[in-house]
C-alpha cells in the first residue's frame, strides 16, 4: 500500500515496484484517513493486509504522523506483519529522527526513491 497525495510520485513508485515484483498488487490511497478505513476493512481478514506500507508524511486530511498514531491506537496489525516505510521528500532531521525512533517504522526513504533501494527492501522480505 502506498499512502501519498502526489499522483506523479505514486505513478513512478508503482512503476518501480512493478519492475522489481511482477504482477504485484499495489493499493494507492491519497491520505491517512482513507488508508485507515481501508485497513480496518481488511483487518477482519488479516491475510489481506498489505505486507508493506509506504507512507508520505505531508498530506491533507490525515498526515503520516496522524496515520501512525491511529494505526497503533486501533491495533490494526497486532501481529506486526506490516512493514511501514516512511517515503518522504522531507529533509528535516527532526522528521527523519522521529520516523526512525517510531517502533512501527522500518526505515525512512527519501524521495525520489531509486530502483536499487526498492530491490533491497523486497529482497530482504
**Cβ atoms of 13 and 54 closer than 8 Å:** yes
User: Domain spans of the chain?
Assistant: 2-124
* Residue 23 parent element (H or E): none
Counting Cα atoms < 13 Å in the Cβ hemisphere of 113 gives 27
Give the chain's mean pLDDT: 91
- 40 vs 44, 46, 78, CA distance in Å? 7, 10, 12
pTM above 0.85, yes or no: yes
CA atoms of 39 and 31, how far apart (whole Å): 12
Q: Is the pLDDT of residue 124 over 80?
A: no
Tell me which architecture the domain covering 2-124 has in CATH: 3-Layer(aba) Sandwich (3.40)
pLDDT digits (tens, 9 = 90+) for 86-112: 998 878 788 899 999 999 999 999 888
Look-up of cell digits 526513504:
109
Amino acid at each position: 500500500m502506498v499512502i501519498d497525495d502526489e499522483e506523479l510520485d505514486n505513478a513512478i513508485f508503482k512503476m518501480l515496484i512493478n519492475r522489481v515484483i511482477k504482477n504485484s498488487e499495489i493499493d494507492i490511497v491519497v491520505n491517512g484517513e482513507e488508508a485507515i478505513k481501508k485497513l480496518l476493512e481488511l483487518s477482519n481478514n488479516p491475510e489481506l493486509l498489505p505486507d508493506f506500507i509506504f507512507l508520505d508524511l505531508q498530506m491533507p486530511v490525515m498526515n503520516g504522523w496522524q496515520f501512525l498514531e491511529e494505526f497503533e491506537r486501533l491495533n490494526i496489525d497486532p501481529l506486526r506483519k506490516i512493514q511501514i516505510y516512511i517515503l518522504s521528500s522531507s529533509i528535516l532531521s527532526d522528521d527523519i529522527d522521529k520516523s526512525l525512533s517510531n517502533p512501527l517504522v522500518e526505515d525512512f526513504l527519501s524521495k525520489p526513491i531509486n530502483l536499487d533501494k526498492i530491490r533491497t527492501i523486497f529482497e530482504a522480505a
